[in-house]
């Protein structure tokens, strides 16, 4: 296993809820992220999946210091970013850059492409001298597959996929070691998504990058990720190598997610049994006691309401080296081998109500 380049421990982000006009009184908190732990190793891609509102984007913003955590640690090469301020924090931040979700709103429409990609050099002038910046910007445009002659064009003169390439070029400007990609292809057409994913694959090998890749699309995450973490209501409920998660999920929520993956073959679709979750996702202002998934889980028992399950390898699953031996936050984790009716198609057994 390669060295750990990013270590996240007990990461928490609570947004206070207040009432009153003159005298603001806190009446609660939105628990957007409530205890997230993971490690990113050099050269790997960690995919994070989960439904909307589970805290994925909030984690991404904390990793690049766009949001300050309420508690927890974010260690880059052993140095805790949450304890750094001023110049020390600025020096480290250049090594962790972000690619945003929406290529239409993440680029300033009043700036040329050259100014957008070159702006990081204004903040970190030590990276590139002024006389060399234009050449570097043209090189970056070429690296991401755009015409360097378009350096003076504005964002509205590019398509969605081209704009996302501009965002990737901006993220590469400071030669970071970690790229946090917050759903970088969700706003793009399917054919363009493939181009951007293949570009990111190539750049990872070329620049020795480590990715935290956030997405909704499970097939995209499996294609690009080495390991996958599944989030639910502010916490990671299961994490492991991609084959472990996709072929031998042990957490009920992961099993339900995988059963919802669209299948293009109508015949295979009819043979597949879906896991239909009942109820809605609880409010992050009033999370359930114990296991947060218990209000929608068919395995829930009294213990689930009383004890918070620990994210660890379930001891009752037996073989500590088997495909099901990965971290899962469930008291009744069960290794389910996914049956494939055809390449790329998954069939999960229907759970007992």
Give pLDDT tens digits for 18-28: 888 777 888 88
Is there a single domain that holds both residue 213 and residue 144? yes
| Mean pLDDT value across residues 269-274 | 65
| Mean pLDDT value across residues 96-125 | 93
Is there a single domain that holds both residue 207 and residue 100? yes
The per-residue pLDDT for 1 is 64
Is there a single domain that holds both residue 197 and residue 311? no
pLDDT of 308 over the 60 cut: yes
Domain closes at, from 202, 230, 258: 230
Angle 314-317-322 (CA atoms, 0-180°, nearest 5)? 100
Distance, CA of 322 to chain centre:
26
Mean pLDDT of all residues in the chain? 87
Q: What is the DSSP letter of 217?
A: -
pLDDT of 269 over the 80 cut: no
Task: With CA atoms as reference, report the closest residue to 277 among 310, 253, 261.
Answer: 253
CB 258 within 8 A of CB 338: yes
Give me the domain span that covers residue 255.
250-347
> Is the residue at 12 inside a domain?
no
Give the CATH number, domain containing residue 190: 3.40.50.300
Is there a single domain that holds both residue 209 and residue 257? no
Q: How confident is the model at residue 325 (pLDDT cuts 50, 70, 90)?
A: confident
Segment 159-202, tens digit of pLDDT: 999 999 999 999 999 999 999 999 998 888 888 898 999 999 99
Rounded distance between C-alpha atoms, residue 337 and residue 246, angstroms: 9
As for how many domains the chain has, the answer is 2
Angle between helical axes of 160-172 and 133-143 (0-180°, round to 10): 130
Is there a single domain that holds both residue 210 and residue 254? no
Segment 44-95, tens digit of pLDDT: 999 999 988 899 999 999 999 999 999 999 999 989 999 988 889 998 989 9
| Higher-pLDDT residue of 24, 6 | 6
Domain closes at, from 230, 262, 290: 230
The per-residue pLDDT for 320 is 62
Q: How confident is the model at residue 37 (pLDDT cuts 50, 70, 90)?
A: very high
The per-residue pLDDT for 66 is 93
Is there a single domain that holds both residue 191 and residue 284? no
Question: How many CA atoms are closer than 13 Å to the CA of 321, on its beta-carbon side?
Answer: 0
CB 235 within 8 A of CB 251: no
> Is the residue at 76 inside a domain?
no
Domain closes at, from 230, 258, 290: 230
The per-residue pLDDT for 186 is 86
Q: How confident is the model at residue 348 (pLDDT cuts 50, 70, 90)?
A: very low
> Is the residue at 278 inside a domain?
yes
Is there a single domain that holds both residue 185 and residue 52? yes
Is there a single domain that holds both residue 190 and residue 48? yes
Alpha-carbon distances, residue 174 vs 99, 138, 143 (angstroms): 13, 14, 14
Rounded distance between C-alpha atoms, residue 37 and residue 8, angstroms: 5
Q: How confident is the model at residue 337 (pLDDT cuts 50, 70, 90)?
A: low
286: number of Cβ within 10 Å: 8
The per-residue pLDDT for 277 is 83
Is there a single domain that holds both residue 61 and residue 149? yes
The per-residue pLDDT for 338 is 56
The per-residue pLDDT for 129 is 84
| Mean pLDDT value across residues 347-351 | 42
Is there a single domain that holds both residue 212 and residue 141? yes
The per-residue pLDDT for 199 is 94
Is there a single domain that holds both residue 276 and residue 341? yes
The per-residue pLDDT for 274 is 76
pLDDT of 341 over the 50 cut: no
pLDDT of 284 over the 50 cut: yes
Segment 226-243, tens digit of pLDDT: 999 999 999 999 999 999
Is there a single domain that holds both residue 269 and residue 320? yes
pLDDT of 344 over the 60 cut: no
> Is the residue at 93 inside a domain?
yes
The per-residue pLDDT for 310 is 92
């Amino acid at each position: 296993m390669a060295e750990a380049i990013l270590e996240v421990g007990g990461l928490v982000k609570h947004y206070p809820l207040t009432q009153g006009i003159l005298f603001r009184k806190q009446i609660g908190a939105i628990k957007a992220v409530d205890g997230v732990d993971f490690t990113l190793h050099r050269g790997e891609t960690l995919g994070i999946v989960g439904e909307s509102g589970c805290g994925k984007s909030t984690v991404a913003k904390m990793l690049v210091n766009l949001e300050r955590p309420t508690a927890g640690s974010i260690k880059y090469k052993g140095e805790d970013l949450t304890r750094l301020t001023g110049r020390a924090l600025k020096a480290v931040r250049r090594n962790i850059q972000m690619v945003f979700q929406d290529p239409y709103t993440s680029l300033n429409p009043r700036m040329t492409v050259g100014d957008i990609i070159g702006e990081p050099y204004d903040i970190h002038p030590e990276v590139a001298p002024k006389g060399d910046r234009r050449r570097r910007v043209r090189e970056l445009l070429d690296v991401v597959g755009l015409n360097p002659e378009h350096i003076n064009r504005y964002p509205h003169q590019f398509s969605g996929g081209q704009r996302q390439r501009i965002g990737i070029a901006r993220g590469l400007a400071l030669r970071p070691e970690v790229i946090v990609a917050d759903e970088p292809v969700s706003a793009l057409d399917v054919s363009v998504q493939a181009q951007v994913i293949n570009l990111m694959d190539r750049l990872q090998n070329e620049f020795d990058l480590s990715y935290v890749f956030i997405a909704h699309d499970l097939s995209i995450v499996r294609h690009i990720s080495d390991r996958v973490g599944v989030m639910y209501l502010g916490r990671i409920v299961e994490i492991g190598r991609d084959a472990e998660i996709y072929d031998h999920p042990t957490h009920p929520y992961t099993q339900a997610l995988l059963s919802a993956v669209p299948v293009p073959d109508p015949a295979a679709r009819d043979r597949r049994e879906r896991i239909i979750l009942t109820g809605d996702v609880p409010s992050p202002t009033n999370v359930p006691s114990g296991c947060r998934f218990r209000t929608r889980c068919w395995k829930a028992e009294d213990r689930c309401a009383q004890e918070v399950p620990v994210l660890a390898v379930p001891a009752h699953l037996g073989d500590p080296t088997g495909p099901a031996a990965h971290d899962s936050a469930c008291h009744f984790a069960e290794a389910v081998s996914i049956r494939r009716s055809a390449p790329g198609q998954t069939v999960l057994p229907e759970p007992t109500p």
